[in-house]
């Protein structure tokens, strides 16, 4: 049996910015090598040149403005983990934890793992005076706006948890590089998105040195989990495997994927007139599975607290497009939260979302 410190002593990898393909290949290689018991538990910091990363099952052409990215030197690649598409600016900071599932303090349940590791990041962000908090299932928010996202995967007895912290996030550039189901008036679309994401700089007014940010994240992990981190490099085996794997991660087969495994999506919009104002719903639906991938709700109503709309959007992610499930989620949200929206009832949001679903999938069936 291994001693406790063999689990809680983490190798710390911290390389200069790499290409998206190198980082994605390393994700696979470190995961695989760890699952074979050939490397210790590892924490890795990541910085990228500007790039977009789609989730494992996403259709790159539906998610990414490929011509714009090609013209502007923005790399495109695919993650080995799930979830949606991401834009990475040069200032954003990622970190990943590769560890044995039986590492002390690591819960088996995925939701509990997300909570634990997100709360470690929250502690780190608190050290900068940012009022960050964990937002289930896998986000970290500040003032109701997303400041970090997470994801992960597992292989045999190992897992990887990934987290991206928005440091100085260029919302307008993200909206040029990715495809969103938003109105074509760019200024309004940027404003809509800016209300949903924030960054370290937006919160504290400046960009702290990246070494301070890394130290804060490590501090949060030490406090929350009691782990120790010791800088090292990739070992020879990992470097050899990177050389072998990199061509595939640079290939169109990987970046654009095999069609039969990819998810096709439908974008739809609806305007619904409630007594207290207009509700505009813009959403992306998964065509085959008939679930809401994400929804953006705006309009000329007033919500108290203002973050309530962002929280409702989060609740609706991955909801099947069934009238009953959508109604249950929205009504449950308003029953659980203290939200006031003069002239707009929970039922109005139900009707607005259902109208958008109907526009996207006229024959939507309950799952």
Partner 1 sequence: MENGQWDFPENLWYDEHYQWIRKEGDHVLFGLTHYGLEITGDILYLALPLAGDEVCRGDACGSLEAGKWVGRIYPPISGRVVRVNEEIARRPALIGQDPYECWFMELSPSRPLESKGFMTAAALRKWLEREGQDDA
Binding residues for partner 1 (CB under 8 A)? 55-57, 80-83, 102, 107-112, 137-138, 149-156, 261, 263, 286, 288-289, 291, 317-318, 320, 367
CA distances from 191 to 69, 100, 171 (A): 22, 42, 9
Q: Which is nearer to partner 1, 100 or 303 (CB)?
A: 100
Q: How far is the CB of 17 from partner 1 (least distance, A)?
A: 23
Q: How far is CA 67 from CA 74, 181, 270, 315, in A?
A: 10, 18, 28, 33
CB of 315 to partner 1, least distance (A): 13
Q: Which two tokens stand for residue 364?
A: 């939507």
Least separation in angstroms between CB 137 and partner 1: 6
- Cβ closest to partner 1, residue 2 vs residue 109: 109
**Pair 230, 11: CB distance under 8 Å:** yes
CB closer to partner 1, 280 vs 293:
293
Element (H, E) at 294: strand 291-299
User: CB of 205: closest distance to partner 1 in angstroms?
Assistant: 30
For residue 62, give the nearest of 270, 288, 311, 281 by alpha carbon: 288
Q: Tell me the closest approach of the beta carbon of residue 105 to partner 1, in angstroms.
A: 11
Torsion angle, CA of 362/178/272/302, rounded to 10 degrees? Answer: 150
CA distance 39 to 243: 18
Q: Which CB sits closer to partner 1, 3 or 261? A: 261
Q: How far is the CB of 47 from partner 1 (least distance, A)?
A: 21
Q: Which is nearer to partner 1, 7 or 272 (CB)?
A: 7
Least CB distance to partner 1 at residue 110 (A): 5
Are 76 and 68 in contact by the 8 Å Cβ rule? The answer is no
Cα 347 off chain centre by: 29
Please give the Cα distance from 296 to 305 (Å, whole number): 17
Tell me the closest approach of the beta carbon of residue 50 to partner 1, in angstroms: 22
Strand partners of residue 158? 100, 155
CB 161 within 8 A of CB 96: yes
| Token couple for 119 | 């709360």
- Comparison of 57 and 191: residue with beta carbon closer to partner 1: 57
What's the CA gap between 272 and 347, in Å, rounded? 11
Element (H, E) at 52: strand 51-54
Closest separation between CB of residue 210 and partner 1, Å? 24
Nearer to partner 1 by Cβ, of 12 and 56: the residue is 56
Shortest Å, Cβ 77 to partner 1: 16
Q: Enumerate the β-bridge partners of residue 298.
A: 280
Q: Between residues 154 and 232, which has the closer beta carbon with respect to partner 1?
A: 154
β-partners of residue 233 are none
Q: How many whole angstroms separate alpha carbon 274 and alpha carbon 272?
A: 6
Residue 118 contacts residue 134 (beta carbons within 8 Å): yes
**Choice between 88 and 272, CB closer to partner 1:** 88
Q: What is the dihedral of CA 343, 347, 349, 351, to 10 degrees?
A: -120
Which of residues 71 and 365 has its CB atom nearest to partner 1 in the complex? Answer: 365
């Amino acid at each position: 049996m291994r001693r406790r410190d063999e689990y809680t002593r983490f190798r710390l990898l911290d390389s200069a910015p790499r290409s998206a393909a190198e980082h994605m290949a390393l994700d696979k290689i470190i995961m695989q090598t760890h699952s074979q018991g050939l490397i210790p538990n590892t924490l890795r910091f990541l910085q990228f040149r500007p790039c977009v990363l789609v989730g494992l099952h996403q259709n790159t052409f539906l998610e990414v403005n490929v011509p714009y990215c090609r013209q502007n030197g923005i790399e495109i690649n695919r993650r080995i983990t799930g979830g949606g598409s991401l834009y990475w600016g040069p200032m954003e900071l990622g970190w990943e934890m590769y560890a044995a599932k039986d590492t002390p303090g690591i819960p088996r349940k995925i939701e509990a793992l997300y909570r634990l590791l997100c709360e470690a990041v929250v502690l780190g962000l608190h050290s900068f005076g940012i009022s960050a908090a964990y937002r289930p299932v896998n986000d970290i928010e500040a003032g109701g706006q997303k400041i970090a996202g997470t994801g992960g995967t597992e292989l045999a007895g190992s897992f990887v948890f990934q987290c991206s912290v928005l440091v100085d996030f260029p919302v307008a550039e993200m909206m040029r590089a990715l495809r969103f189901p938003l109105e074509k008036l760019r200024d309004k679309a940027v404003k809509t998105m800016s209300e949903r994401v924030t960054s370290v700089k937006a919160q504290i007014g400046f960009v702290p040195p990246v070494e301070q940010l890394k130290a804060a994240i490590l501090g949060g992990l030490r406090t929350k989990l009691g782990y120790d981190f010791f800088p090292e490099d990739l070992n020879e085996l990992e470097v050899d495997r990177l050389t072998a794997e990199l061509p595939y991660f640079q290939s169109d087969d990987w970046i654009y994927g095999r069609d039969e495994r990819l998810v096709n999506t439908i974008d739809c919009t609806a305007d619904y007139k409630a007594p207290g104002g207009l509700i505009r719903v813009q959403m992306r639906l998964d065509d085959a599975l008939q679930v809401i991938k994400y929804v953006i709700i705006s309009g000329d109503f007033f919500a108290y607290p203002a973050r309530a709309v962002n929280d409702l959007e989060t609740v609706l992610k991955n909801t099947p497009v069934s009238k009953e499930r959508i109604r249950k989620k929205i009504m449950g949200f308003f029953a659980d939260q203290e939200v006031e929206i003069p002239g707009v009832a929970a039922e109005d949001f139900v009707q607005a979302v259902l109208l958008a679903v109907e526009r996207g999938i006229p024959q939507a069936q309950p799952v």
